Structure 1
Amino acid sequence: MVDPSPDMTALNTVVPAILGLTTAAILAVTACFCTRRIRTRNKKGNLEANITFQPTRPVRSPSGQPPHYLKKSPSPTATKPLPGSLLSPVQSVKYAEENEVPKHTTICTDIDGQNGDTTITENGVDYGKLGSLVFKLRYLADRNALVVSVVRCRGLPEKQNSTRNGDAGNGINGKTQAVTDPYVKLQLLPEKQHKVKTRVVRNTRNPIYDEDFTFYGLSLAELSLMSLHFVILSFDRYSRDDVIGEVVCPLSGIDLSQIENQQVALSKEIQPRSLKIRAQGRGELLISLCWQPAASRLTIVLLKARNLPRMDVTGLADPYVKLYLLFNGQRIAKKKTHVKKRTLSPVFNESFAFDIPVVEGAGASLEDVSLELLLLDWDRLTKNEVIGRLELGGPRCTGHSLNHWNEICNSPRRQIAEWHKLNE
């Protein structure tokens, strides 16, 4: 008789095989996971063990001597460094020296009593008693480097509070006395882009700096074509800094063999920037005027200027013009042109229109109206310096300016252009 129950022989053979494969897969996955976790933990531990922090050490000079790097002093007037390297090649560029006055140079003893230093003092004319600048020079032949040490300033004038810009008779720009916070800017010409500055010394007329600045990659032949330009300024926290004066030292006038591997101290008179204007004149301005009574409008076109004084040590200027409309002696409107960079003959070609006040019962008239024009030299850091001024109309208008003003008053709707010499 046949057994009706199912045959379990095949099932008993397959089930153990499936269970074995499943168990092997689970063990393999578990082993892989554990291995990866152990590797990650060991790697992290090795990184932490290998990292050791050490204090930063200064770089030593190959020659064993202390290096002369540019000394960075904290200054409230600090600006972003200009692009360029001190190692860039020097170009032979001709330039005009500012405030060029013949002087007699004598060699005397050390100014500070320091042995081994030679002092060269220039005995020139008196430039308003702005004091003197003491600095030292040394040329390192093995490094082709010029080291300039700004030592101190002596006898600086008091800083002045502004009364009227341009009155040079009362200290700096005709101002009243106040405290002085001086510092010195230095650049090596003609490569004007390399500028350094000292720290600000507070509330003193005799600041002591003792700061070294090094210019690398300069041969003695290149130095003979260059000049040192120092600008002495008084720091102002709330406006542009006041320029006290400047010193230009052509290296061609110094025996460079004296400064080779030895320090030479020099003392020079600080000269006012206004001196160059007195020597060269203030230039001329071409303007065109048109009076339109029906519209009660005065149009002025600033065309160009010529024969401007050299306001920069490179023999150029950055001129622009400010215009003021005065009614009964009071300024009621103002305009200004764009700055024309690096030129002594700027071309403006800019037109401005002023609406003239109308007096009831009298109609439109220029009787109580006048114009004041100021030609200035723009400076990014310091106060813009007035080159010259011109007045048209008003009680102080005389000579050629008065003739031009009367001509436009008597010839309405006509554009009349004239050259005018700028005054102090």
Structure 2
Amino acid sequence: MKLGHGGTYDGPGFISGQGYSATEHLANGAGPLIVGACVGTALFAVVVAAATYVCYRKKAKTALQSPGSYHLQHSLKKGPGYKDGKLTGPGGLMFRKTPAVRSPTGGGSGPILKTSPSPTGSKSPPSINTSPTQGGRTVLSGQQPHPPVTKPVVQQHKPTPAESPEAKIERETMLDEKPQRLGELHFRLRYCASKQALFVTINKCCGLPPAKDPAAGSSDPYVKLQLLPDKQHKVKTRVVRKTTNPVYDEDFTFYGVTANQAVTGTLHFVVLSFDRYSRDDVIGEVLCPVAELIDGDTTLHDQERAFVKEIVPRHFKIKSAGRGELLVSLCHQPAANRLTVVILKARNLPKVDDSGLCDPYVKMYLLYNGQRIAKKKTHVKKRTVNPVFNESFVFDVPYNEGLHNLSIELLMLDWDRVTKNEVIGRLELGAKVESGAARQHWSDVCTSPRRQIAEWHKLKE
């Protein structure tokens, strides 16, 4: 059989005349293509199998981590603790994944709750024993049923309303009326006649009451000291933080004190609690005559003596001696809508310390329907209990209102450089006040416009 190119067909697999066999022709032509296709198919199958296995592992891991998932129960192998499609622990204890708490706003992330550090640190409560989590669940060592999960209750402390500057200044430092112990002051005294020096050592305080803030539970106490009656030099100890039994052991020296001054002088200790945001609170005071150092020969020797004195309320003498009187003059000018208040003088003010003196001044407020709308104050009169002020103040009153809804509140205070200015007494003048004399004075001013009317008034607590 003849073929193209001059060859003949001699049988299966041979072509005569050219020297080629069918096998050699297949190997030299389509053979490489077929081999490559087979290898590619095998590689593709391997890649698909690997990808399927990875996807399956990721899906199983996600099912184990998702709370309350149906796949969690079926992805676990059945064993002794697997019953009715649910995993149970020893003694029939059933473990159930707690549902996740989601944000009420529907956001992707839950709310962040900031809590104060636990006083026990990272310790667990003694009634619950836990072990590390296994497979997304917590293994309990006890046999008791799982307690119901309840939402934690967070107690929020409402902020205390901000106190006005006037209220901070005028807030009295008096303690409760009930008798209570304010603690003791331990100190030592020594007088050196040759140097005319009085040496004072403040050792400590014991049994101080806590600060007025109930949440504090303690105080930041310090002691202020001055020598009376001069009342010129004031010294004070350091502040000891968060304690009711502070220890100071600090020495103070008063020079230029003659023997006569030492015998007649008195040491005035004031115990205070430091307040960072307002004037310091007065806890109490101690008065110690230096003459207590005198021995039986009525002479002062260069010797040291220790004292323990009880701390007493600072306002004790004010209550027993009365609060004095104030002379005030008022004048109403209806055409100008003005009220003129003249603070003339005061008399018989109480002795706030053993020197028999105080540093008084008057602060006054104009009130409209009980609300303060204006304020004024006099100058401070130094070291007197019968101050003369003679100061005039003019208040603008509401237009065409008259004086029926107005009143004047006056505060007599004792000025102090270090501590709070203590309120000596109060006085209110107006049409609706309880005091008959004050109400009558106000009525006379209303019925007699453009006329100055002065009256004496007793100061009250």
The aligned length equals: 282
1:322 partnered with 2:363: yes
Q: Partner residue of 1:136? A: 188
* Equivalent-residue separation in structure 2 for 1:347 and 1:176 (angstroms): 44
Q: Tell me which amino acid in the other structure corresponds to 2:330.
A: L
Alignment deviations for residues 265-313 of structure 1 (CA, whole Å, 9 cap, x no partner)? 2111112221111121111111111122222221111111111112243
What aligned pairs does 1:125-204 form with structure 2 within 5 A after superposition?
Answer: 128-139=180-191, 145-161=197-213, 179-204=218-243
Preserved contact between residue 431 and residue 443 of structure 2 (Cα < 8 Å): no
Preserved contact between residue 182 and residue 207 of structure 1 (Cα < 8 Å): yes
Is the radius of gyration larger for structure 1 or structure 2? 2
Q: Tell me which amino acid in the other structure corresponds to 1:313.
A: D
Residues 196 and 413 (structure 1), Cα distance of their counterparts in 2 relative to 1, 3 Å cut: closer
Preserved contact between residue 327 and residue 345 of structure 2 (Cα < 8 Å): yes
Preserved contact between residue 127 and residue 272 of structure 1 (Cα < 8 Å): no
Residues 410 and 158 (structure 1), Cα distance of their counterparts in 2 relative to 1, 3 Å cut: same
Q: Partner residue of 2:349? A: 308
Alignment counterpart, residue 412 of structure 1, candidates 449, 453, 457: 449
Q: Tell me which amino acid in the other structure corresponds to 2:231.
A: K
* More moved, 208-217 vs 194-203: 208-217
Preserved contact between residue 182 and residue 234 of structure 1 (Cα < 8 Å): yes
What aligned pairs does 1:79-94 form with structure 2 within 5 A after superposition?
Answer: none
Residues 200 and 366 (structure 1), Cα distance of their counterparts in 2 relative to 1, 3 Å cut: same
Partner secondary structure for residue 406 of structure 1: helix
* Equivalent-residue separation in structure 1 for 2:383 and 2:315 (angstroms): 18
Quote the offset at 1:390 in angstroms.
Answer: 0.4
Quote the offset at 1:371 in angstroms.
Answer: 0.9
Preserved contact between residue 433 and residue 439 of structure 2 (Cα < 8 Å): no
Partner secondary structure for residue 238 of structure 1: coil
Partner secondary structure for residue 237 of structure 1: coil
What aligned pairs does 1:77-116 form with structure 2 within 5 A after superposition?
Answer: none
Partner secondary structure for residue 408 of structure 2: strand
Could you say what the CA RMSD is over the residues aligned between the two structures, in angstroms? 2.6
Q: Partner residue of 2:107? A: none
Alignment deviations for residues 96-133 of structure 1 (CA, whole Å, 9 cap, x no partner)? xxxxxxxxxxxxxxxxxxxxxxxxxxxxxx96422211
Q: Partner residue of 2:265? A: 226
1:386 partnered with 2:438: no
Residues 183 and 418 (structure 1), Cα distance of their counterparts in 2 relative to 1, 3 Å cut: same
Preserved contact between residue 209 and residue 218 of structure 2 (Cα < 8 Å): no
Quote the offset at 1:318 in angstroms.
Answer: 1.1
* Equivalent-residue separation in structure 1 for 2:256 and 2:345 (angstroms): 42
Residues 255 and 395 (structure 1), Cα distance of their counterparts in 2 relative to 1, 3 Å cut: same
* More moved, 267-276 vs 138-147: 138-147
Preserved contact between residue 266 and residue 354 of structure 2 (Cα < 8 Å): no
Quote the offset at 1:367 in angstroms.
Answer: 1.5
Quote the offset at 1:329 in angstroms.
Answer: 0.9
Quote the offset at 1:218 in angstroms.
Answer: 5.4
1:357 partnered with 2:398: yes
* Equivalent-residue separation in structure 1 for 2:261 and 2:370 (angstroms): 55
Partner secondary structure for residue 264 of structure 2: coil
Preserved contact between residue 293 and residue 364 of structure 1 (Cα < 8 Å): no
Q: Partner residue of 2:250? A: 211
Alignment counterpart, residue 376 of structure 2, candidates 327, 332, 335: 335
Residues 292 and 262 (structure 1), Cα distance of their counterparts in 2 relative to 1, 3 Å cut: closer
* Equivalent-residue separation in structure 2 for 1:372 and 1:319 (angstroms): 16
* Equivalent-residue separation in structure 1 for 2:193 and 2:259 (angstroms): 9
Preserved contact between residue 188 and residue 203 of structure 2 (Cα < 8 Å): yes
Partner secondary structure for residue 443 of structure 2: helix
Preserved contact between residue 225 and residue 268 of structure 2 (Cα < 8 Å): yes
Residues 406 and 256 (structure 1), Cα distance of their counterparts in 2 relative to 1, 3 Å cut: same
Partner secondary structure for residue 438 of structure 2: helix
* Equivalent-residue separation in structure 1 for 2:339 and 2:329 (angstroms): 11
Quote the offset at 1:210 in angstroms.
Answer: 1.8
* Equivalent-residue separation in structure 1 for 2:345 and 2:261 (angstroms): 38
1:377 partnered with 2:414: yes
Partner secondary structure for residue 320 of structure 2: helix
Partner secondary structure for residue 212 of structure 2: strand
Structure 2: tracts of 5 or more residues without a match = 1-177
| Relative contact order higher in (CA < 8 Å, ≥ 6 apart) | 1
Q: Partner residue of 2:323? A: 282
Structure 1: tracts of 5 or more residues without a match = 1-125, 162-174
Partner secondary structure for residue 150 of structure 1: strand
Preserved contact between residue 146 and residue 218 of structure 1 (Cα < 8 Å): yes
Residues 270 and 144 (structure 1), Cα distance of their counterparts in 2 relative to 1, 3 Å cut: same
Quote the offset at 1:405 in angstroms.
Answer: 0.9
Preserved contact between residue 127 and residue 270 of structure 1 (Cα < 8 Å): no
Quote the offset at 1:325 in angstroms.
Answer: 0.7
* Equivalent-residue separation in structure 2 for 1:418 and 1:263 (angstroms): 54
Quote the offset at 1:213 in angstroms.
Answer: 2.6
Quote the offset at 1:143 in angstroms.
Answer: 5.9
* Equivalent-residue separation in structure 1 for 2:348 and 2:406 (angstroms): 29
Alignment counterpart, residue 397 of structure 1, candidates 406, 427, 434: 434
Quote the offset at 1:217 in angstroms.
Answer: 5.9
Residues 394 and 280 (structure 1), Cα distance of their counterparts in 2 relative to 1, 3 Å cut: same
* Equivalent-residue separation in structure 2 for 1:143 and 1:338 (angstroms): 39
Quote the offset at 1:345 in angstroms.
Answer: 1.3
Partner secondary structure for residue 158 of structure 1: coil
TM-score in terms of structure 2 length: 0.56
Q: Tell me which amino acid in the other structure corresponds to 1:371.
A: I
Preserved contact between residue 138 and residue 259 of structure 1 (Cα < 8 Å): no
* Equivalent-residue separation in structure 2 for 1:357 and 1:412 (angstroms): 16
Q: Partner residue of 1:368? A: 405
Residues 221 and 420 (structure 1), Cα distance of their counterparts in 2 relative to 1, 3 Å cut: closer
Q: Tell me which amino acid in the other structure corresponds to 2:268.
A: H
Q: Partner residue of 1:122? A: none
Quote the offset at 1:177 in angstroms.
Answer: 6.4
Q: Tell me which amino acid in the other structure corresponds to 1:151.
A: N
Partner secondary structure for residue 159 of structure 1: coil
Preserved contact between residue 432 and residue 439 of structure 2 (Cα < 8 Å): no
Q: Partner residue of 1:84? A: none
